[in-house]
Amino acid sequence: MLNYNSKPLLFALVFIHSLFSSSQGQLLVGFYSQTCPTAESIVHSVVDENFKRDPGNPAVLLRLQFHDCFVKGCDGSILINNGAEGERGARGNLGVGGYEIIEEAKKMLESVCPGVVSCADIVALAARDAVSLVNGQFYEVPTGRRDGRVSSKSLAANLPDVDDSIQLLKSRFQQKGLSDRDLVLLSGGAHTIGLTACFFMQKRLYNFTPSGGSDPSIDPGFLRELKANCPFNGDPNVKIPLDPVTEFKFDDQVFVNIKNGFAVIASDARLYDDNNTRQILESYIGSGQNFLADFAKAMVKMGKIGVKTGSQGEIRRVCSNVN
């Protein structure tokens, strides 16, 4: 006998399966299209307004996502403000900022869609919008992350460090499922914008391993300039551009700088110490759109590290505190 209700039943089963799959751990582009349709536009508006106030904010938001994802995965744990023993207190997180921008976006979202959009997703969306505002490529961000409840300084001990060797940098990225190409893009390439504190320059300028003195890879004239800007005391409040040539533009100039001995921080210079990372770096010089497109792919890949979805974690009402 023909069952006239078979098609509606099949559709219902597919719909239920889709909802179940989403709840069990799948990030999706447009995850909030039904539950909070204006989520991405709200985040964009906040990022845009803060960019107008300070053109340095895109680099701050980009760095924030990197430092969040490299600890317990992209779960917004770096946003939790739980004192000196929290994630924010780790040496590698000194100078990380943008927290107030994420809170501003969260407050607006809570007024429209309370308890729906995670802080971890706001971080990922804000980084994307920040990059696109300074000549980077706009890319789709899969969303559906949930927020972690744990933030500990000890868990941030293995963050990539400016003074790591290239072997250690490669190892730290491999542990997160990221390739040498991702290392070049997300470490060196991301430094096309932003500032670094003199605090992170001291070993490279004055006590470089193994023989002391300065990193021999630094162009002599540039070394004098760096030392003039960053004297031996390493004042953490003094900051210099990571790419002095095109400081506020997302482009491949930072790779040109590294090749020619004008890398500002040691970890960027180390990309030229390894045959594979050197070849990858040089392939992006003058590549234009190829660099921008591959950087976008690397950001999406990084944004999936250790995500919490479905019934894991929570949706924080305030990003700096667990519920």
Which residue among the candidates 17, 44, 67, 191 is catalytic per the annotation? 67
Name, in order, each residue with C-beta under 8 angstroms of 43's C-beta and a sequence gap of 6 or more: 105, 109, 122, 125, 126, 129
Strands (E), the chain: 28-29, 142-143, 195-197, 239-241
Q: Is residue 172 within 8 Å of 160, Cβ to Cβ?
A: yes
Q: Which two tokens stand for residue 232?
A: 């031996």
Query: Which among 148, 7, 15 is positioned nearest to 77, based on CA atoms?
Result: 148
Q: Is residue 232 within 8 Å of 213, Cβ to Cβ?
A: no
CA 150 to chain centre: 19
CA dihedral 34, 313, 129, 173 (to 10 degrees): -140
Amino acid letter at 196?
T
Q: Could you write out the DSSP letters of every residue in 26-48? A: --EETTTTTT-TTHHHHHHHHHH
67 is annotated as an active-site residue: yes
Active site residues: 67
